Amino acid sequence: METLAEIIVGIRSENLDRSFTYRVPQGMEIQVGSRVVVPFGRQRLEGYCITVIAGAEDKEQADFEYKEIEALLDDAPVLTEELIELSAWGAARWLCSRTDLLKAMVPAGLRFTTSKWVTLLEDAESETPELLWLRENGPVALAAWQKLFPSTVRANELRRLQQKGIIKLNNRESRGIGQKKVQSAHLLSAGQVALPMGKKQDLALELLRKHGSMALTALADVGVSRATVHSMAKKGWIAICEQLVRRDPLSGETFLATGSIELTAAQVEAIRQVGSACNRTGREVVLLHGVTGSGKTEVYLQAIGKVVAAGMGSILLVPEIALTPQMIERFVARFGRLVAVLHSRLSAGERHDEWWRIVTGEALVVVGARLAVFAPFKQLGLIVLDEEHEASYKQDETPRYHARDVAMWRAKKHGAALVLGSATPSLESYNAALSGKYALCLLPERVENRPLPPVDVVDMRQELKEGHRSIFSRALLNALEKVQQEKKQAILLLNRRGYATFVLCRGCGFVMRCKMCNVSLKFHLAEEVLRCHYCDYREPYPSQCPVCASRYIKHFGTGTQKVAEELQKHFPTLRAARVDADSTAQKGAYQKIFGAFKIGSVDVLIGTQMVAKGLDFPNVTLVGVVTADTTINLPDFRAGERTFQLLTQVAGRAGRGNFGGRVLVQTYTPEHYAIQAARTHDFETFFAQESKARKELGYPPYAVFIRLLLTGSEEDKVEGAASLLASLLEATEILGPSPCPLERIRGQFRWQVVARGQALEPLLLKVREAAETFRKSLFSGSVRLVLDVEPQSLL
Ligand code: ADP
Ligand code: ZN
Ligand code: ZN
């Protein structure tokens, strides 16, 4: 009798998405969810155990010898049985491999890897900078070294250095990040009285007599080397001990404890509904539709409080960019050390330690971004998705899962409740609520009778007519003036940066659109044509507006930099800070900017979507939207929905304190229903209009889309591959083939085919078949195929 295990091997390959059987060596305590190292061909690879078969018949297949698992990588399984099962379901649901999903689940640092390292040989001459660097810093991963010194990337340069015996390359294995251990020196009684010879030892003993013990790194900082410490240990003066330390993402911060606030009647009702979902006496999914500032977060806090009291786990998901220190603070203030945070700005070590605090049951509340939906709780009571409509809940690289669907699956599995919260629910969720699939719960008013801020729409066509060409309208300039006088704060929002490709008439606001697909046409500089990226319709670049004959018709856009400069020109004393992907790239930069805004050393925040979410600053009395048109005119069927959501979100940042607030939206299309609905804070009307249009055009949620994206460096091959796929999908309704709106990214040409169907399952089947045939075709070598089930964007 022997024990066998089914292992999913950690390499990416469309052809290898299956498990392999290995023999478990005597005494290895493997469980479902364990991470292991297995031999695979000539390699040694990481794998995840999905089944353990104890007491298998000895060599039933007589002449077949299973290979043996080499090592168990962690003390306890890193994944639960439920998560292993989830990977099987998810792989079918999103047409990806189980390996991809398993890798997405575990903390990034937990990877068994082999990599090439470079070492400088002892007697090598080393006067070039890259060799001097090696001499000073010791062996380094080849990839890191090559990043520092690009000249070494050339294969023949590397070969030359090796042949001359200057450097040596070898493979190193890494088990990935582990627990952090700190070595420290402790004074022993012999050390109390020892009379050292030598300055360094003397210094070390003096310090230790004062402090009792010290970390070796601290001793090194004052010049006491490891060698010195070890020789002192040999003499019996000190002992060297190792301690585990937790890498705490919130270390150094203090939080004032808060208690529950007295709830409004609407909040009480919401908590009651969530409670019945938890106890399975109501519907398991609750859509909490509450305007900004209506107290949704307080509902989450108190609902989670009840689950904590029952000793079960809860997950609160927040879009990455809304996961501000402010949000985390509210949860830690309520639940203290029971909170673990998981998001992509954590260091690998922090993420590792937070993960194990969940595995061991030390943390019961996880606050995090999309990836936190995989938090390895054994007993889960409640999952909350705040701002459930956010596109960022869908991962836009493989595996392209949607956290909402994962949450739905997990909630069902655990008999837990799922709360979807938003001021602007997605069409999908609101539709499900109206049809009775979800419970619908409303918080129609802000707490403490605070009014929603008035939203004024500024018609930029009028500005132009009256001779004002600045990116700030006169109304916005006046409002900023007022902010300056009253010493209050303002937020200026700009949409997606650098997306100046649709064509707009500044005279009448007309945008060139495809008559068939109702998405904006994209301007192609090279050919001077406009092109539809759903159906590939084309027309020439207009010299004048087809509606009003104005010649102010051209492609459109502006960036945060330009807005900052313009602001500086008009208000030299206002202190402004930019928040965009560039200015917040560095770790901590984000916190710094918001910190400065919070204490009032910045007056105006200028930013992209990042400034629209989750901020609660009572001094903000003005929110200005510089151009609403950039999102409205994205060539994407969700453009209207995204605009309404964004305007509503950013408007929600104004007037949260007692000073009131207002919102100014600048646009060339003030009559657009998304802008009109945002102006009156009217979700219902927006939903009715958008829903009608989607139904007519056969767009989600009234149809299912699967996008087949093709990329490659040779345009004709990519186009040919798209045609082939279209023909393989013959029996299916498709959009395209057509070039993607972003038709070239980093030198890769992009085409797409969108398969459309009424139900998901049959469509998945057809697409899977077409993809399999495609992968056996001649194109598969030069064109990459990406499958995106229910894409959030078709850009
Ligand atoms: P939302 O998440 O819907 O935007 P929040 O939960 O952030 O709303 O609530 C907005 C503000 O109102 C917060 O400062 C919060 O502390 C406060 N608040 C929430 N509920 C109540 C209540 N019942 N009574 C008084 N203040 C409340
Ligand atoms: Zn016009
Ligand atoms: Zn079209």
Distance, CA of 3 to chain centre: 40
Answer whether residue 323 shows pLDDT above 90.
Answer: no
Better-predicted residue by pLDDT, 542 or 583: 542
**Residue 745, pLDDT score:** 73
Ligand 2 ion: Cβ-proximal residues, 5 Å cutoff: 505, 507-508, 510, 545, 547-548, 550
Ligand 1 atom 18: residue of nearest CA: 295
Answer whether residue 774 shows pLDDT above 50.
Answer: yes
Lowest average pLDDT, out of 168-182, 446-460, 560-574, 740-754, goes to 168-182
- Give the range with max mean pLDDT: 361-375, 733-747, 766-780: 361-375
Residue reference for tokens 């099962």:
85
**Residue 198, pLDDT score:** 77
Mutate to test the pocket of ligand 1, among 297, 330, 385, 683 (most ligand atoms within 8 A of CB): 297
Mutate to test the pocket of ligand 1, among 258, 262, 298, 316 (most ligand atoms within 8 A of CB): 298
**Amino acid (1-letter code) at residue 476:** L
pLDDT digits (tens, 9 = 90+) for 656-668: 666 778 899 999 8
Ligand 1 atom 23: residue of nearest CA: 263
Ligand nearest to the CA of 444: 1
If you measure from the C-alpha of residue 561 to the centroid of ligand 1, how many angstroms do you get, rounded to a whole number? 34
Q: What's phi and psi for 44, nearest 5 deg?
A: -120, 125
Better-predicted residue by pLDDT, 267 or 292: 267
If pLDDT is split at 50, 70 and 90, which confidence band does 46 have? Answer: confident
Better-predicted residue by pLDDT, 405 or 126: 405
**Residue 497, pLDDT score:** 45
pLDDT digits (tens, 9 = 90+) for 435-479: 999 999 999 888 877 888 889 999 988 988 888 888 899 999 999
Ligand nearest to the CA of 465: 2
Cβ atoms within 10 Å, residue 651: 28
Better-predicted residue by pLDDT, 273 or 560: 273
**Residue 76, pLDDT score:** 84
Q: What's phi and psi for 51, nearest 5 deg?
A: -150, 140
If you measure from the C-alpha of residue 432 to the centroid of ligand 3, how many angstroms do you get, rounded to a whole number? 29
If you measure from the C-alpha of residue 675 to the centroid of ligand 2, how many angstroms do you get, rounded to a whole number? 19
If you measure from the C-alpha of residue 461 to the centroid of ligand 2, how many angstroms do you get, rounded to a whole number? 9
Residue 386 CA: which ligand 1 atom is closest? 2
If you measure from the C-alpha of residue 24 to the centroid of ligand 3, how many angstroms do you get, rounded to a whole number? 58
Averaged pLDDT, 695-699: 90
If you measure from the C-alpha of residue 258 to the centroid of ligand 2, how many angstroms do you get, rounded to a whole number? 56
If you measure from the C-alpha of residue 652 to the centroid of ligand 1, how many angstroms do you get, rounded to a whole number? 12
If you measure from the C-alpha of residue 466 to the centroid of ligand 2, how many angstroms do you get, rounded to a whole number? 16
- In angstroms, the CA 448 to CA 132 distance is 66
Better-predicted residue by pLDDT, 395 or 187: 395
Answer whether residue 584 shows pLDDT above 70.
Answer: no
- Give the range with max mean pLDDT: 61-75, 89-103, 606-620: 89-103
If pLDDT is split at 50, 70 and 90, which confidence band does 557 have? Answer: low
Residue 298 CA: which ligand 1 atom is closest? 6
If you measure from the C-alpha of residue 653 to the centroid of ligand 1, how many angstroms do you get, rounded to a whole number? 13
- In angstroms, the CA 467 to CA 246 distance is 62
pLDDT digits (tens, 9 = 90+) for 396-424: 888 999 999 999 999 999 999 999 999 99
Please list, in sequence order, all residues whose beta carbon lies within 8 angstroms of the beta carbon of residue 189, skipping any fewer than 6 positions away. Answer: none
Ligand 1 pocket list (CB less than 6 A):
261-264, 267, 290, 292-298, 447-448, 616
If you measure from the C-alpha of residue 463 to the centroid of ligand 3, how many angstroms do you get, rounded to a whole number? 32
Residue 294 CA: which ligand 1 atom is closest? 3
Averaged pLDDT, 173-199: 75
Ligand 1 atom 9: residue of nearest CA: 295
- In angstroms, the CA 613 to CA 282 distance is 31
If pLDDT is split at 50, 70 and 90, which confidence band does 498 have? Answer: very low
pLDDT digits (tens, 9 = 90+) for 136-162: 777 888 888 888 877 767 777 778 888
Mutate to test the pocket of ligand 1, among 447, 449, 616, 656 (most ligand atoms within 8 A of CB): 447
Ligand 1 atom 5: residue of nearest CA: 295
Averaged pLDDT, 370-398: 93
Ligand 1 atom 10: residue of nearest CA: 293
Ligand 1 atom 15: residue of nearest CA: 295
Average pLDDT over the chain, rounded to an integer: 85
If you measure from the C-alpha of residue 537 to the centroid of ligand 3, how many angstroms do you get, rounded to a whole number? 5
**Residue 257, pLDDT score:** 66
Ligand nearest to the CA of 327: 1
DSSP assignments along 439-497, one per residue: EEEEE-S-GGGPPPPPEEEEEHHHHHHTT--SSS-HHHHHHHHHHHHHT-EEEEE--ST
- In angstroms, the CA 313 to CA 310 distance is 9
If you measure from the C-alpha of residue 635 to the centroid of ligand 2, how many angstroms do you get, rounded to a whole number? 19
Residue 290 CA: which ligand 1 atom is closest? 3
Answer whether residue 191 shows pLDDT above 80.
Answer: no
- In angstroms, the CA 301 to CA 333 distance is 10
Structure tokens at 598: 């919070």
Q: What's phi and psi for 373, nearest 5 deg?
A: -65, -15
pLDDT digits (tens, 9 = 90+) for 223-260: 888 888 888 888 888 888 777 777 777 776 666 666 66
Nearest Cα to 407, choosing from 451, 444, 375? 375
**Residue 525, pLDDT score:** 65
**Residues 568, 577 contacting (CB under 8 angstroms):** no
Answer whether residue 480 shows pLDDT above 90.
Answer: yes
Distance, CA of 207 to chain centre: 46
Residue reference for tokens 């690289």:
397
Q: Which helix (H) or strand (E) holds 332?
A: helix 325-335
- In angstroms, the CA 565 to CA 792 distance is 33
**Residue 222, pLDDT score:** 81
Ligand nearest to the CA of 741: 3
Q: What's phi and psi for 390, nearest 5 deg?
A: -65, 130
Ligand nearest to the CA of 289: 1
Ligand 1 atom 26: residue of nearest CA: 447
Going by DSSP bridges, is the β-strand pair 604-607/455-459 parallel, antiparallel, or unpaired? Answer: unpaired
Answer whether residue 499 shows pLDDT above 50.
Answer: no
Ligand nearest to the CA of 296: 1
pLDDT digits (tens, 9 = 90+) for 670-685: 999 999 999 988 999 9
- In angstroms, the CA 574 to CA 567 distance is 8
Ligand nearest to the CA of 539: 3
Give percent above pLDDT 70 in the chain. Answer: 91
If you measure from the C-alpha of residue 635 to the centroid of ligand 3, how many angstroms do you get, rounded to a whole number? 10
